[in-house]
């Protein structure tokens, strides 16, 4: 059975629905994610862009030449990031209506992991991007 993931921003102005199973579910510790999320890592679910319907007042900003990050114009909640050239969009696990749907499979960019953060969940850890 295909999954359905719903979520949105803190104030409710931005909403999304993602249909089907995520391409991957990862915890990213890179500095770009840390800055964009305002936390030690970005726990996110990656979907094909065609599987995600997004509504509401979204503003985007580039965090690198390839990555656009989207946030609510009203409350500022970071809701997604994506690579248009790859046709993917990643929603933040904290923006899910049911965050328990997030099932991470690995940690990436652990070379930028905050030194006070202990990773003892048994998931694979990659110092940079995940292997192809």
- Whether the per-residue pLDDT at 66 is higher than 90: the answer is no
For 91, the domain range is 4-112
CATH code assigned at 14: 2.170.150.70
pLDDT value at 1 more than 60: no
pLDDT tens-digit series, residues 101-132: 999 999 999 999 999 999 999 999 999 999 87
CA angle in degrees (0–180, nearest 5) for 100-101-104: 90
User: How many domains, in total, are found in the chain?
Assistant: 1
pLDDT of residue 65: 84
Tokens of 4: 């359905």
Q: Which two tokens stand for residue 61?
A: 């900003």
Asked if residue 89 lies in contact with residue 81, where contact means CB atoms within 8 angstroms, the answer is yes
Residue 105 lies in a domain: yes
Confirm whether 55 is domain-assigned: yes
- For residue 42, tell me if it sits in a domain: yes
Token reading at 31:
């500095």
């Amino acid at each position: 059975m295909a999954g359905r993931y719903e979520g949105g921003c803190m104030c409710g102005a931005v909403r999304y629905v993602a249909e089907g199973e995520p391409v991957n579910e990862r915890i990213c510790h890179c500095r770009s994610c840390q800055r964009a999320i305002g936390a030690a890592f970005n726990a996110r679910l990656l979907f094909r862009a065609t599987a995600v319907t997004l509504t509401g007042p979204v503003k985007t900003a580039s965090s690198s030449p390839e990555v656009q990050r989207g946030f609510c114009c009203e409350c500022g909640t970071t809701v997604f990031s994506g690579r248009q050239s790859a046709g993917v969009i990643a929603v933040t696990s904290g923006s899910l209506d049911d965050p328990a749907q997030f099932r991470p499979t690995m940690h990436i960019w652990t070379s930028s992991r905050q030194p006070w953060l202990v990773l003892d969940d048994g998931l694979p850890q990659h110092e940079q991007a995940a292997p192809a």
